[in-house]
């Protein structure tokens, strides 16, 4: 959902408390997102999003990847605002317009005053740089005169606030509320969602001014299970919710949608490519299975050859088919090539027999390769839906190395040093559990980071994360086994299934498979446990309910 003016008012109050902010760097992290990397006692990443559905001004603590080709507007912001100071952040009335006042020094050392106007109005969202004479230097989205004669957003034009409708400030409301007309039409700052909530509360005997005071004082964001959110509980939708600090909750509410958009913009449509390759591999598997069945039935061609060799002297050239009695006294009709006599047709059937027999092992090998590809792309299909931009770029590079993606030739540039891939870590019962989100992370975790005595978890017969617990396999107890198995099942393509089979063993029992894809291993000995995957953060409570304790030991039987 888009931010409304009342919620934006709370967000701006929190952001304004952080000023003044020193602008160290300006980055473009996706097609419609900018980050001002600022500093004030600590690093603060101020996020500007003008995407039509996720536009907002917020703070992000998530790691991000800079766009390889920043836009002209971003380069202009770097020129005019880089190393400057954000002196204030304020909202214009209760509208979805925010003004950032910036001071900086020009090339001559003189102080320059600038404004960045952030307009968060859905598909008309924009970021506009304005100089001290109120002239527009540039904008993320330009609006030339031939598109809109009422409001021009173009270099050199004067900046004017978006035209406001004739509405009232809800905080000045003294009269009784007219519920026969929409609150959106009556008051500034109301979205349709908030209007429905306030109307619902008023009909349930809550006071309008009390509701507004609660919103105004709130430093909490209520995010419901359908990802609708506001500074108060949305009682009218009757859904469970989680509460977060205001800024943190805002990023949580937008995270899943924004992450998918960023991945697509940085890597191209990687999801579509993986889906296409998976479909191609499955189609190849079906064709090979048919060929395998046909090739498996090759013995009868040898029998035809034997019969024709026995009776071939009686068969003249030009015969299309012949019916003979086989060695079991059964009549068999054999198709013939009328260009040859019986003996030559026997040789043709012997050739076909030898060819199919020899080709059977080749088809079987190709079938195994196709099945490996299916498992590989199913794993990537799961990974790409749950990773951030950095991990998605790892997957893209993996596909380039594999030859699935052809890398376009670019002018020679200084090659960046490959950064080590970072896996995730979670602590449970004072034990560190590590898991990878990509094949590269799985490979590094299992074969570079893990010790031989550590414990290792992975789902059976499927793609998923490698999980390494920094505890000796012989020292595992029931809680650690269940937690590790759940972590492996939860971060796999069977995360929504039940009774997922998970293998666990010591890292010393693993070995690489020659020429196998990244992250694929072979296990010597292992133990299997079946688990119903749940959120790992809820696992401790779940284990308490089934009566496990940290002192209850369960030795492995492998």
- Residues 178, 318, single domain; the answer is no
Residue 206: inside a domain: no
- Residues 283, 361, single domain; the answer is yes
Q: What is the pLDDT of residue 558?
A: 31
In this structure, the number of other CB atoms found within 10 A of the CB of residue 10 comes to 22
Q: Decide which of 181, 201, 221 is a domain's last residue.
A: 201
- Residues 448, 374, single domain; the answer is no
Pair of tokens at residue 28: 């473009």
Residue 489: inside a domain: yes
Q: Decide which of 173, 201, 229 is a domain's last residue.
A: 201
CATH code, domain with 55: 2.30.310.10
* Residue 139: its H or E element: strand 136-139
- Residues 442, 373, single domain; the answer is no
- Residues 20, 139, single domain; the answer is yes
Q: Which of 302, 246, 324, 305 is nearest to 58 (CA)?
A: 246
Burial class (CB in 10 A: 0-12, 13-18, 19+), 14: middle
- Residues 314, 429, single domain; the answer is no
- Residues 1, 115, single domain; the answer is yes
Pair of tokens at residue 21: 């902010």
Residue 460: inside a domain: yes
- Residues 5, 77, single domain; the answer is yes
- Residues 356, 432, single domain; the answer is no
Torsions phi, psi for 428 (to 5 deg): -140, 125
For residues 335 and 348, the answer to whether their CB atoms sit within 8 Å is no
- Residues 466, 531, single domain; the answer is yes
Residue 211: inside a domain: no
Q: What is the pLDDT of residue 547?
A: 58
Q: Decide which of 326, 356, 383 is a domain's last residue.
A: 383
- The upper half-sphere exposure of residue 81, i.e. CA atoms within 13 Å in the direction of its Cβ, equals 30
Q: What is the domain range of residue 324?
A: 272-383
Residue 182: inside a domain: yes
Q: What is the pLDDT of residue 557?
A: 31
Number of domains comprising the chain: 3
- Residues 177, 33, single domain; the answer is yes
Reading across the β-sheet that carries 424-428, which strands appear in turn?
Answer: 424-428, 431-435, 467-472, 454-459, 500-506, 527-531
- Residues 126, 51, single domain; the answer is yes
Q: What is the DSSP string of 256-278?
A: HHHHHHHHHHHHSSHHHHHHHHH
Q: What is the pLDDT of residue 177?
A: 77
Q: How many Å apart are CA 418 and CA 420, to the nearest integer?
A: 6
Phi-psi group of 519: left, alpha or beta (phi > 0 → left; psi -120 to 50 → alpha; rest → beta): left
Q: How many Å apart are CA 465 and CA 287, to the nearest integer?
A: 31
Residue 219: inside a domain: no
Residue 522: inside a domain: yes
Residue 170: inside a domain: yes
Q: How many Å apart are CA 87 and CA 80, to the nearest integer?
A: 15
Q: What is the pLDDT along the chain (558 residues), one digit of tens a residue?
A: 568 999 999 999 999 999 999 999 999 988 889 999 999 889 999 999 998 888 899 999 888 888 878 899 999 999 999 999 999 999 998 999 999 999 999 888 889 999 999 999 888 899 999 999 999 999 999 988 887 778 899 999 999 998 888 888 888 866 677 778 888 888 899 999 999 999 999 999 999 989 999 999 999 999 998 889 999 999 999 999 989 999 999 888 887 677 777 777 767 778 888 899 999 999 999 999 988 887 887 888 888 888 888 888 888 888 888 888 887 888 888 889 889 888 999 999 899 888 888 888 888 889 988 988 898 898 888 888 777 778 888 888 888 888 888 876 655 555 555 555 678 899 998 899 999 989 989 999 999 999 999 999 999 888 889 999 999 998 999 999 999 999 999 999 888 888 999 999 999 999 988 878 888 889 989 999 999 999 888 887 777 766 555 443 333 333
Please give the C-alpha separations between residue 202 and each of 177, 191, 210, 236, in angstroms, as whole numbers: 9, 16, 10, 11
């Amino acid at each position: 959902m888009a931010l409304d003016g009342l919620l934006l008012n709370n967000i701006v109050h929190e952001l304004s408390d952080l000023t003044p902010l020193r602008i160290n760097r300006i980055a473009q992290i996706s097609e419609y997102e900018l980050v001002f990397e600022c500093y004030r006692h600590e690093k603060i990443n101020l996020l500007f999003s003008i995407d039509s559905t996720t536009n907002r001004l917020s703070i992000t603590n998530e790691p991000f990847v800079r766009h390889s080709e920043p836009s002209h507007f971003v380069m202009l912001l770097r020129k005019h605002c880089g190393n400057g100071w954000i002196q204030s952040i304020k909202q214009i009335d209760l509208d979805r317009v925010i003004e950032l006042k910036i001071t900086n020094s020009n090339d001559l050392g003189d102080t320059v005053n600038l404004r960045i106007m952030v307009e968060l109005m859905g598909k008309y969202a924009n970021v506009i740089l304005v100089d001290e004479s109120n002239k527009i230097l540039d904008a993320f989205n330009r609006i030339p005169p031939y598109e809109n004669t009422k409001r021009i957003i173009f270099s050199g034009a004067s900046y004017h606030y978006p035209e406001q409708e004739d509405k009232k400030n809800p905080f000045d409301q003294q009269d009784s509320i007219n519920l026969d007309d929409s609150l959106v039409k009556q008051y500034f700052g109301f979205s349709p969602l908030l209007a429905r909530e306030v109307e619902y509360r008023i009909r349930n005997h809550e006071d309008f001014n009390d509701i507004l005071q609660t919103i105004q004082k709130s430093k909490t964001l209520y995010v419901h299970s359908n990802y609708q959110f506001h500074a108060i509980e949305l009682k009218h939708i009757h859904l469970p919710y989680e509460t977060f600090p205001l800024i943190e909750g805002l990023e949580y509410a937008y995270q899943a949608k924004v992450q998918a958009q960023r991945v697509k913009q940085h890597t191209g449509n990687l999801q579509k490519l993986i889906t296409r390759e998976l479909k191609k591999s499955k189609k190849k598997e079906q064709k090979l299975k048919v060929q395998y069945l046909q090739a498996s039935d090759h013995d009868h061609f040898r029998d035809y050859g034997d019969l024709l060799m026995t009776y071939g002297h009686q068969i003249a050239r030009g015969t299309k088919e012949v019916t003979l009695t086989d060695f079991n006294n059964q009549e068999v009709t054999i198709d013939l090539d009328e260009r040859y006599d019986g003996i030559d047709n026997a040789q043709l059937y012997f050739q076909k027999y030898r060819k199919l027999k020899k080709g059977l092992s080749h088809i079987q090998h190709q079938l195994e390769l196709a099945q490996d590809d299916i498992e590989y792309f199913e794993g990537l299909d799961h990974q790409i839906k749950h990773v951030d931009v950095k991990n998605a770029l790892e997957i893209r590079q993996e596909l380039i190395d594999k030859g699935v993606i052809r890398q376009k030739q670019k002018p020679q540039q200084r090659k960046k040093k490959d950064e080590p891939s970072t896996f995730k870590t979670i602590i449970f019962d004072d034990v560190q559990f590590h898991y990878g989100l990509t094949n590269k992370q799985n490979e590094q975790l299992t074969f570079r980071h893990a010790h031989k005595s550590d414990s290792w978890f992975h789902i059976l017969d499927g793609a998923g994360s490698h999980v390494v617990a920094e505890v000796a396999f012989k020292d595992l107890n029931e809680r650690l086994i269940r937690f590790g198995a759940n972590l492996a099942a939860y971060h796999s393509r069977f995360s929504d299934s039940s009774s997922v089979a998970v293998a666990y063993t010591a890292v010393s029992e693993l070995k690489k498979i020659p020429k196998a894809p990244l992250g694929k291993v072979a296990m010597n000995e292992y133990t299997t446990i079946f688990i119903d995957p749940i959120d790992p953060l809820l696992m401790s409570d779940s284990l308490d309910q089934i009566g496990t304790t940290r002192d209850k030991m369960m030795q492995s039987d492998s």
